[in-house]
Structure 1
Amino acid sequence: MHKLEDLKIWKKAIHLTKEVYLLVSELPSNEKFGLSSQIKRCSVSIPSNIAEGAGRNSSKEFKHFLSVANGSCYELYTQLILIIELNLINKEKVKPIIDICIEIQKMNYSFQHKL
């Protein structure tokens, strides 16, 4: 088991989720139950799966949950691109969050290889 508060990837994923929630609040109200809801769910899934993996009894189980978190990160990345492509929020506001997402993906791969 890993101490959650010591995991840089978990801290970064919490930060990402907070930033996503702030960004999503700028989406049009007609997206409240569509893209907005989906973006929130997958962003919360990232730190949640990292946390669940950290609480498991083996590195193999932890890697599994890191893999699930990575899938959610790619899903979030796709949805952030859609926000830009659909002209819902300008690219300058979305790009820093995409950059955090990419950083977490890299951290995740590296962490999985270390386990």
Structure 2
Amino acid sequence: MKFKFEDLLIWQKGMDLGENMNVVADKFPKKEQFNLPSQIRRASDSIALNISEGSILQSGAEYKRFLGYAIRSIAEVVTCLHKAKRRNYISEEEFIMYYKSCFDLINMTIAFRKKIIT
């Protein structure tokens, strides 16, 4: 037995991104402990949370709204990645890898949202 959203590739990739960002945040310096690591964790966790929460709603319009929240959270993660790279908390290679994950996920989520009938 499982929920329908667990079969969604965007939910699965959102879950993966959240776990990856948690590992990345653990590498940040102690002085950042309550700032950027917290923000990137919350934003990345919010992606899968909004996808799953929206999936149980009866209205397509409401589901689209929650997918919009997920899209905004992906953009927030991208900005956090830029900040982390500028502050030399992550390497260029890490940045490129996670940036690509975000790019792919945001495009998949936008495409999925467009297919939902309101």
Return the TM-score normalized by structure 1: 0.94
C-alpha root-mean-square deviation of aligned residues, in Å? 1.1
Gaps of 5+ in 1: none
**Following TM superposition, by how much is the alpha carbon of 1:48 offset from its aligned partner in structure 2, in angstroms?**
0.4
Alpha-carbon distance in structure 1 between the residues aligned to 2:85 and 2:60: 37
Deviation of the 1:105 alpha carbon: 0.5
Q: Give the Cα separation in 1 of the matches to 2:106 and 2:63.
A: 15
Unmatched 5+ residue regions in structure 2? none
**Aligned letter for 2:50?**
N
Give the aligned residue type for 1:97: Y
Q: Distance in 1 between matches of 2:6 and 2:35?
A: 32
Aligned twin of 1:77: 78
In 2, Cα distance between equivalents of 1:89 and 1:73: 18
Q: Deviations over 1:87-113 (max 9, x none)?
A: 122111222111111111000110011
How far 1:78 sits from its partner (Å)? Answer: 0.6
Moved over 3 A (4+): none
8 Å CA contact 1:23, 1:94 repeated in 2: no
- 1:18 maps to 19
Give the paired residue count. 114
What letter matches 2:9 in structure 1? K
Match of 1:68 in 2: 69
- Any residues of structure 2 matched to 1:1-115 within 5 Å, and which? 3-115=4-116
Identity among equivalent positions (%) equals 35
